[in-house]
């Protein structure tokens, strides 16, 4: 039987990870995180499909696609759209596939405008503040669903 599929979706500016602001976001690039996830997914008998876009609509389309493709779960770091996007809130609510909110930093320990999360209001759960390890913890949570 094929491995269960986990979508890992990343939002705006996360393509710059590892290149700027390492004191907040760490020094791993998104490719480094993808490699860590691939290794862990192999151990868990899962497959990961990792993507990044700076465009809100792409993230909405990929959430719909995750359900259409029968993904087991979606790990979603929506970047700044986390704090602004009713469209992502609606998209998460519109699919049955569980979505786990992921953040490198802890938005609650940062500026007030990061304290509201439209993604978190619709997600199954949230993991934040552990750098690249947040993604690995979220993958373990997804495996247990
Ligand atoms: O901590 C996270 O993972 C965030 O989702 C990152 C977002 C931020 O808006 C959220 O509040 C929390 C920002 C992603 C921007 O990534 C950068 C990477 C390198 C340099 C500058 C920004």
> Residue 25 catalytic?
yes
Domain 4-144 matching CATH 3.40.50.9100: the answer reads yes
To test the ligand 1 pocket, which listed residue (8, 12, 13, 88) has its Cβ within 8 A of the most ligand atoms?
13
**Alpha carbon of 13 to ligand 1 centroid (Å):** 7
- CB distance 134 to 127 below 8 Å: yes
Q: Is 20 in the pocket of ligand 1 (CB under 6 A)?
A: yes
- CB distance 118 to 82 below 8 Å: yes
Position 2 scores a pLDDT of: 74
The number of beta carbons lying within 10 Å of the beta carbon of residue 46 is 19
Interacting residues of 102 by C-beta distance below 8 A, sequence separation 6+: 75, 76, 77, 126, 127, 128, 134, 135, 138
Distance between terminal CA atoms of the chain? 18
> Residue 108 catalytic?
no
User: For the segment 43-100, what is each residue's pLDDT rounded down to a tens digit?
Assistant: 999 999 999 999 999 999 999 999 999 999 999 999 999 999 999 999 999 999 999 9
């Amino acid at each position: 039987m094929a491995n269960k599929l986990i979508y890992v979706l990343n939002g705006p500016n996360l393509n710059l990870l590892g290149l700027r602001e390492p004191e907040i976001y760490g020094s791993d690039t998104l490719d480094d995180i993808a490699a860590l996830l691939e290794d862990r997914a192999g151990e868990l008998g899962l497959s990961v499909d990792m993507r990044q876009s700076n465009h809100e609509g792409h993230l909405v389309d990929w959430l719909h696609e995750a359900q259409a493709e029968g993904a087991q779960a979606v790990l979603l770091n929506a970047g700044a759209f986390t704090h602004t996007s009713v469209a992502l809130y609606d998209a998460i609510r519109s699919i049955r596939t569980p979505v786990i909110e992921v953040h490198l930093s802890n938005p609650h320990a940062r500026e007030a405008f990061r304290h509201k999360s439209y993604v978190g209001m619709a997600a199954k759960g949230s993991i934040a503040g552990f750098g690249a390890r947040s993604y690995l913890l979220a993958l373990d949570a997804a495996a247990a669903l």
